[in-house]
Copies of this chain bind each other. A is one copy, B any other.
Amino acid sequence: MRFAAAFLITSRLYSQTITVEAPPRTLPAHVAAKLSPADFELFTKLTQVGLEAAWAAVTQEGYPLCFINELTPLNTDRRMVGRARTVRYLPNRKDLRDKIYSAGPQLNYRSAEEAQPGDVLVFDAGGETHSTISGAMVTTRFLMRGGAGIVVDGCMRDVPDLAAMPASFYLKCGHASSVSPLMMSVDYQVPVRIGGVTVMPGDFLVGERHGVLVIPASIVDKVLEKAIEHDEQEDFQRTLLLQGEPVYGVYPTLNEANKKKFEEFKKRKK
């Protein structure tokens, strides 16, 4: 038998402190160092805000199709925050490929080269799983320019190298192939589809291990305001629950007594 009597006694003495929150989150240093002051403040807020509170705010603003949960992040220990730069891919086709590739650089090179600090490259590859869109070399350049992450409805190569980078990657899966012979890039900075969400250039993306929230730039301030207020109440509600209060009267709505306590809680924090 694998277990011993000793165990029966000692484990009773374990502490009961329960962890119920993820560890604090930070911006990647190579991104933080390059952001403008305004962006730095905005990105910091987006790094700290509750993803679910932000989802609720985006939905209330009239954008219910705003969450991508069809992709898998390479690392589960980090938040992604960034601004979308989009590329659209299509199945390879000689005539169109020749036309596009003779007109300028392949669009994943261009998107890396033109990336601004805090950008997230968004590659719509139509869900393709047998051809990769990009790899570690171009991504190295992208990070040198302050790139924060890549979201691809398809595959990437050099996956262990990507996973070691201080950025976020959301993929369907990996592969060792090149982009040819199955795919080609066709459009740059156009609206694209990722999972069930339309992403537009300039959208803000906030990702956790369970998915990526897409926030139109025009509503990002409003969303943050609402969500931060919501988070503050959840902080208070969590405190009450950890003190042993029942869920009724605490969550989702505070009862009258708890509402008063919350007002005091907010005053103390100021």
Contacts and interface: CB of A to CB of B under 8 A. Distances in A.
Interface in A167-211: 173-178, 181-182, 186, 191-193, 196-198, 200, 208-211
B65 A173 contact: no
Given A96-B191, A241-B140, A91 B65 contact: yes
Contact of A143 (B18, B94, B95, B140): B18
Chain A interface category by residue count: 35 or more
Contacts of A158: 51-52
A231 B138 contact: no
B176 A52 contact: yes
B1 A232 contact: yes
Nearest to A128: B196
A174 B67 CA distance: 11
Interface of A: 1-3, 7-8, 11-12, 14-16, 18-24, 26-27, 29-30, 32-33, 40-41, 44-45, 47-52, 54-56, 59, 62-65, 67, 69, 76, 90-96, 105, 109, 112-113, 126, 128-130, 135-141, 143-144, 155, 157-161, 163-166, 173-178, 181-182, 186, 191-193, 196-198, 200, 208-211, 213, 216, 218, 228, 231-232, 234-235, 237-238, 241-242, 244, 246-248, 250-252, 269
